[in-house]
Amino acid sequence: MRLEQLRYLSDIQYTNSISKTANRFFLSQQSLSNNIRQLEKELGVVLLERSPFGVILTKDARALLELSDPFLRQYDELQNQFALQQQADAEDSLKHIRILNSSALTSIVLPKAIAIFSKRHPRVRISIKEVPYRDVFSSVIEHNCNVAFLSINEEYFLDQLNQLEDPESIHHNIMLTDRLVACVPAHSPLAEKEMVEQSDIMTRPFTYLNIVPLVKNSARYSNLALYTSNNIEFHRRILQEMDVVSLMPRYVYVNLFESKHAVAKPLEGAQQIIYHATLYPDATPDPIVKELTNIVASLL
């Protein structure tokens, strides 16, 4: 049993897909499948099974992860603490952490994360610049920051990584996996439906919380959008005052919009995964920067 095999299995529980997990770890599907089969053979159990929703974990797989997940977290923490110990003078060499942020979800926890971090490293200055998601990859490549936070759909994220001349030149980490939902006013007839259909979007105005780009098969609707922006307050107000559909990641809804005024519904055809992720301009991020991002991830 190897650590990477457990990480692959843990990831599949969120993606429900061999191909998606293989892409995230930059493996071939065959290589990932071989790793899982080797683990199954070693343990003498079946770990994955097919379902209408894709590949799902068996009872034995869930029991294995319940035991192994605390160990994986401890191992990651061990690596982080060792790196900090090896670079005890990092705080002296890194006086300023520059953050780029295009994630509404990260914005919620950044103040608390920085407060925790600053107690440990009071001499390190931190600056934050809010940027559109379109600018994140280019800014990271040009080393205009020490770390960037973004919320983005999986297709766009992987496309951007694949377009890099040297994918190993930057480092990324998926903090949280999410899905797109349709947020509707509580007074709307759509609030009574189990799912918002594509026809519902065609028959009423919709807004788009512009922290993730529209997927390709939904691009034909982009010209119908009433409003696309990161302006959170606008989306709150319009959901109270109009019968609209507002598309956004589920965790953004839970943290920013869940109230008596609005409800979230699954969106027909919106099976794409949303990543709340970090990007670093270096293949090996500075331990001090990594410590800050670990604090952010722990608060999501």
Q: What is the pLDDT of residue 100?
A: 94
Report which DSSP code applies to 134: G
Q: Which fold has domain 3-84?
A: Arc Repressor Mutant, subunit A (1.10.10)
DSSP lists the bridge partners of residue 225 as 206
Write the CA distances from 62 to 6, 7, 11, 43, 45, integer angstroms.
11, 13, 12, 14, 12
DSSP lists the bridge partners of residue 267 as 196
Q: Angle of helix 59-86 relative to helix 287-299, nearest 10 degrees?
A: 140
- 54 SS3 class: strand
Q: Where are the domains of the chain?
A: 3-84, 177-274
The superfamily in CATH containing domain 177-274 is Periplasmic binding protein-like II (3.40.190.10)
DSSP lists the bridge partners of residue 273 as 179
Token pair in block for residue 161: 């990584």
67 Cβ contact list (under 8 Å, min separation 6): none
Selection from 288, 297, 299, 300 nearest residue 117 by Cα: 288
As a whole number of angstroms, the distance between CA 9 and CA 48 comes to 9
pLDDT in tens, the chain (300 residues): 888 888 888 888 888 899 888 888 888 889 989 989 998 999 999 999 888 778 988 999 889 988 888 888 888 788 777 766 655 555 555 678 999 998 888 988 999 999 999 998 888 889 999 888 888 998 999 999 999 999 888 888 888 888 888 877 889 999 988 888 888 888 889 999 988 887 887 777 778 776 655 554 444 444 455 666 667 788 888 888 888 888 888 888 888 787 788 898 888 765 678 889 999 998 888 888 999 999 999 998
- φ and ψ of 277, to 5 deg: -130, 165
Token pair in block for residue 250: 């589920």
DSSP lists the bridge partners of residue 54 as 51
